[in-house]
């Protein structure tokens, strides 16, 4: 009995994070669907590049779809990791977008 293909749904959305500068962090996201959906992350509307696109990136897309930061970057010139994130899961039947999760860097 073949199971029918299903559009993605987010089963574990990311939650807001408050992280210290230089610490690792994980924004969780888990999606279900058939075929298994591909997960992408967007920050403030822009697609997040991970080490898949850029081997020097400090962000890794984990196998389940979560976004892992080796260390939160935060310098005098800016807070490149701070912002509002969503994860988007897609397969050929459609896509699902998680709720917004904000990542804030704690001030020292």
Domain coordinates in residue numbering, the chain: 6-105
Average pLDDT, the chain: 94
pLDDT band at 78 (very low <50, low <70, confident <90, very high): confident
- Tell me how far apart the alpha carbons of residues 98 and 8 are, in angstroms, rounded to a whole number: 11
What backbone phi and psi angles, to 5 degrees, belong to 97?
-115, 135
90 alpha-carbon distance from chain centroid: 13
Distance of CA 83 to the CA centre of its chain: 12
CA distance 32 to 11: 7
Task: Specify the CATH number of the domain 6-105.
Answer: 2.60.40.10
- Choice between 75 and 97, residue whose per-residue pLDDT is larger: 97
Cα-based distances in Å from 91 to 41, 45, 67: 15, 20, 19
């Amino acid at each position: 009995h073949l199971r029918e293909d299903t559009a993605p749904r987010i089963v574990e959305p990311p939650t807001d994070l408050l992280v210290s500068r230089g610490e690792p962090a994980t924004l969780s996201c888990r999606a279900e669907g058939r075929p298994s959906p591909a997960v992408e992350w967007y920050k403030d509307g822009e697609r997040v590049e991970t080490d898949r696109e850029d081997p020097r990136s400090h962000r890794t897309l984990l196998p389940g779809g979560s976004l892992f930061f080796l260390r939160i970057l935060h310098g005098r010139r800016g807070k490149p990791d701070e912002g509002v994130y969503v994860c988007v899961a897609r397969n050929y039947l459609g896509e699902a977008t998680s709720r917004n999760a904000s990542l804030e860097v704690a001030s020292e």
